[in-house]
Structure 1
Amino acid sequence: MSATPVGPPSPSPSPSPYAAPDVKGVRLRAPVGLAIALTSLFALVIGITVYAVYADWNTRSLMQRLLADPAAVSDADLVRGERLTGLVGTIQGNALIVTGIVFIIWFHRVRTNAEVFAPGADKLARGWAIGAWFIPFANFWLPYRIAVTTWGSSTPSGADGGYRRFPLTLVNLWWGTFVLSRLLGWYGGMSYSRAESPGAVRDAVTTMLVGDVLDIAGAVLAVLFVRKLTAMQHARAAQGPVVAAV
Structure 2
Amino acid sequence: MSAAPVGPPSPSPTPSPYAAPDVKGVRLRAPVGLAVALTALFALVIGVDAFAVYADWNVRSLMERLLADSAAVGDAELEHGYRLTGRAGMIQGQVAIVTGIVFIIWFHRVRTNAEVFAPGADKLRRGWAIGAWFVPLANLLLPYRIAVTTWVSSVPSGAEGYSRRFRLTLVNLWWGAFVLAKILAWYGGTSYSRAETTEAARDAATTMLAGDVLDIVAAVLAVLFVRRLTAMQHARAAHGPVVAAV
* SS of match in other structure, 1:111: helix
CA distance in 2, matches of 1:141, 1:245: 27
CA distance in 1, matches of 2:190, 2:113: 39
Offset, 1:2: 5.2
1:163 aligns with 2:170: no
Match for residue 90 of structure 2? 90
For 1:167-223, what per-residue CA distance to the aligned partner results, in whole angstroms no more than 9, with x for missing partners?
200000000111100000000000111111211111101000000000000000000
Which amino acid letter does the alignment assign opposite residue 239 of structure 1?
H
Offset, 1:7: 1.4
Match for residue 80 of structure 1? 80
CA distance in 2, matches of 1:223, 1:243: 29
TM-score (norm: length of structure 1): 0.96
Which amino acid letter does the alignment assign opposite residue 31 of structure 2?
P
CA distance in 2, matches of 1:100, 1:127: 16
CA distance in 2, matches of 1:45, 1:214: 12
Which amino acid letter does the alignment assign opposite residue 188 of structure 2?
G
User: Do the aligned partners of 2:35 and 2:226 also contact (CA within 8 Å) in 1?
Assistant: yes
Match for residue 180 of structure 1? 180
CA distance in 1, matches of 2:161, 2:111: 19
Q: How many residues align?
A: 243
Match for residue 24 of structure 2? 24
Match for residue 194 of structure 1? 194
User: Do the aligned partners of 1:52 and 1:88 also contact (CA within 8 Å) in 2?
Assistant: yes
1:39 aligns with 2:39: yes
Which amino acid letter does the alignment assign opposite residue 56 of structure 2?
D
Identity of aligned residues (%): 79
Which amino acid letter does the alignment assign opposite residue 163 of structure 1?
E
TM-score (norm: length of structure 2): 0.96
CA distance in 2, matches of 1:44, 1:35: 14
User: Do the aligned partners of 2:45 and 2:92 also contact (CA within 8 Å) in 1?
Assistant: yes
1:211 aligns with 2:211: yes
Which amino acid letter does the alignment assign opposite residue 145 of structure 2?
R
* SS of match in other structure, 1:70: coil
For 1:122-165, what per-residue CA distance to the aligned partner results, in whole angstroms no more than 9, with x for missing partners?
0000000000000000000000000000011111111xxx7343
For 1:21-75, what per-residue CA distance to the aligned partner results, in whole angstroms no more than 9, with x for missing partners?
1011100000010001000000010011011100000000001101111111000
Offset, 1:81: 0.3
1:108 aligns with 2:108: yes
Specify every segment of 5 or more residues in structure 1 that has no aligned partner in the other structure, as ranges: none
* SS of match in other structure, 2:167: coil
Which amino acid letter does the alignment assign opposite residue 9 of structure 1?
P
Specify every segment of 5 or more residues in structure 2 that has no aligned partner in the other structure, as ranges: none
Which amino acid letter does the alignment assign opposite residue 215 of structure 1?
D
Match for residue 132 of structure 1? 132
1:146 aligns with 2:146: yes
Match for residue 69 of structure 2? 69
CA distance in 2, matches of 1:208, 1:241: 45
Offset, 1:8: 1.2
Q: Mean Cα displacement is larger for which, 49-58 or 192-201? A: 192-201
Offset, 1:240: 1.6
CA distance in 2, matches of 1:141, 1:189: 23
CA distance in 1, matches of 2:112, 2:241: 15
Offset, 1:3: 3.5
50 and 114 in structure 1: CA distance in 2 versus 1, 3 angstrom threshold: same
CA distance in 2, matches of 1:243, 1:170: 27
